[in-house]
């Protein structure tokens, strides 16, 4: 509708896992859907047989079915797989890194309800349901601007870099430097913890839904961005390709996601660690830096210190999809507030969805539907 998707590239999902140890990088598991005239089949192989269980494909399909079974949705993942016939190597090779990087939650604490939902969503409309969309240049140009321009033409007002300090009952806003006029509707498009801070300062009514915003437990995400000069690289590369690799690091047992893209003069490398906990911030920083240094030496034959890099910790990136939070419905906050014509939209706002970009999109759709109903 606003033309944003015209500025995106589409990539086929392909899982290509690696293991990084003192001997270097070794591939552990690779699979993708392979197209035939009338069907799609799973093309799977694991080069290092000693790292994968026997009858891997059958056990893999069994585990997929098992996690998606309706009667298993109410259990925690740790209890579920420890008490069933699911091979631990299979968990380490796929389900643990998949869960932690898609739900941003430690596998041992994750809700199987959320994993089951995610697996079912991925299995719909194969293979297009596994397509990966990335902006051709950057998110601001390809995502944010088209949406802003479209909505502004419809009369929507945005307040960027103007923190909202207070919401008044008449639906006017106290910004850092001024007070706005009265709005027909207000949508609070922020995470729950931020929304609660604004709500509390505004002295607006607090009910059970608002209390959820304060109680939700979050997880951080670590991103190590590296610009590698092409002139200094001595390694094989795939021209103009999007590469997404889960790499397990022997030193700390963590699986990092490696995303790389070749630019005119550099390789842009993103090293991502999900399911990070604030209490372990210092240790996690040391571990991702150690991984980055070893990866660059092994893969690109270059020292990290010879590259431009930046480590960013996204604090409270998403609500943790834990089994404990799921039992109390604390993963979701919904879109309603105690005040008429004040709604909330965020990644944890769509009931049933994980706290991800999909949850944010569906939450936004629900808010839009609610606004249209009020207009009619």
pLDDT, tens only, 12-46: 777 888 889 888 888 887 777 655 444 444 455 55
CA distance linking residue 351 with residue 37, whole number of Å: 38
Average pLDDT, the chain: 82
Question: What 3-state class would DSSP assign to 224?
Answer: strand
What is the pLDDT confidence band of residue 3, given thresholds at 50, 70 and 90? low
Dihedral of CA 56/61/64/66: which sign? Answer: negative
Cα dihedral: 113, 122, 98, 102 (round 10) = -70
Residues 6+ apart with CB under 8 A from 6: none
**Which residue in 108, 118, 115 sits closest to 275, CA to CA?**
108
pLDDT given at position 50: 44
pLDDT given at position 40: 44
pLDDT, tens only, 218-269: 999 999 999 998 876 655 444 445 567 899 999 999 999 998 877 788 888 9
How far lies 148's CA from each of 118, 196, 358, in Å? Answer: 29, 25, 19
Residue 70 has pLDDT above 80, yes or no: no
CA distance linking residue 21 with residue 327, whole number of Å: 38
Strand partners, 18: 27, 247
pLDDT given at position 86: 73
Contact 215, 330 (CB under 8 A): yes
What is the pLDDT confidence band of residue 54, given thresholds at 50, 70 and 90? low
Pick the range with the lowest mean pLDDT from 47-61, 183-197, 362-376: 47-61
Fold (CATH) for 157-217+321-375: FAD/NAD(P)-binding domain (3.50.50)
How far lies 354's CA from each of 50, 100, 275, in Å? Answer: 34, 12, 14
Please give the residue that has the higher pLDDT: either 274 or 261: 274
Contact 281, 270 (CB under 8 A): no
Dihedral of CA 360/366/367/368: which sign? Answer: positive
Six-digit token string for 3? 């033309």
Residue 328 has pLDDT above 90, yes or no: no
Six-digit token string for 264? 């005119």
Residue 49 has pLDDT above 50, yes or no: no
Six-digit token string for 271? 């090293």
Question: What 3-state class would DSSP assign to 178?
Answer: coil
CA distance linking residue 356 with residue 348, whole number of Å: 7
Task: Give residue limits of the domains in the chain.
Answer: 18-130, 157-217+321-375, 218-319
Residue 85 has pLDDT above 90, yes or no: no
Please give the residue that has the higher pLDDT: either 241 or 10: 10
CA distance linking residue 348 with residue 328, whole number of Å: 14
Region at 346 (left for phi over 0; alpha for psi -120 to 50; beta for the rest): beta
Number of helices (H) and strands (E) in the chain: give both, helices first.
Answer: 12, 14
């Amino acid at each position: 509708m606003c033309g944003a998707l015209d500025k995106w590239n589409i990539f086929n999902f392909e899982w290509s896992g690696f293991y990084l140890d003192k001997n270097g990088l070794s591939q552990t598991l690779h699979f993708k859907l392979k197209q035939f005239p009338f069907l799609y089949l799973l093309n799977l192989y694991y080069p290092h047989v000693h790292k994968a269980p026997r009858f891997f494909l059958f056990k893999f399909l069994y585990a997929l079915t098992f996690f998606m079974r309706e009667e298993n949705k109410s259990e925690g993942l740790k209890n579920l797989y420890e008490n069933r016939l699911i091979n631990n190597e299979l968990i380490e090779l796929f389900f643990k890194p998949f869960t932690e990087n898609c739900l941003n939650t430690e596998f041992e604490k994750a809700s199987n309800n959320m994993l089951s939902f995610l697996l079912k969503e991925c299995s719909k409309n194969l293979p297009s349901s596994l397509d990966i969309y990335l902006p051709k240049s950057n998110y601001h140009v390809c995502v944010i601007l088209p949406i802003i321009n479209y909505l502004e033409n419809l009369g929507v007002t945005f307040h960027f870099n103007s923190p909202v300090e207070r919401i008044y009952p008449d639906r006017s806003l106290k910004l850092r430097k001024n007070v706005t006029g009265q709005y027909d509707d207000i949508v609070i498009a922020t995470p729950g913890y931020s929304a609660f801070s604004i709500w509390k300062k505004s002295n607006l009514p607090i009910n059970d839904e608002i209390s959820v915003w304060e109680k939700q437990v979050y997880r951080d995400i670590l991103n190590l961005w590296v610009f590698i000069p092409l002139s200094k690289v001595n390694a094989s590369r795939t021209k103009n390709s999007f590469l997404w690799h889960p790499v397990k690091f022997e030193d700390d047992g963590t699986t990092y996601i490696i995303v790389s893209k070749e630019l005119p003069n550099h390789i842009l490398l993103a090293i991502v660690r999900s399911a990070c906990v604030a209490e372990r911030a210092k240790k996690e920083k040391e571990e991702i830096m150690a991984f980055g240094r070893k990866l660059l030496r092994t893969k690109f034959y270059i020292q990290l210190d010879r590259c431009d890099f930046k480590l960013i910790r996204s604090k409270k990136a998403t609500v943790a999809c834990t089994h404990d939070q799921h039992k109390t419905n604390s993963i979701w906050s919904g879109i309603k507030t105690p005040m008429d014509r004040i709604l909330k939209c965020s990644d944890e706002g769509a009931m049933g969805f994980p706290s991800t970009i999909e949850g944010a999109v569906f939450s936004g759709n629900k808010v839009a539907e609610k606004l249209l109903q009020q207009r009619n």
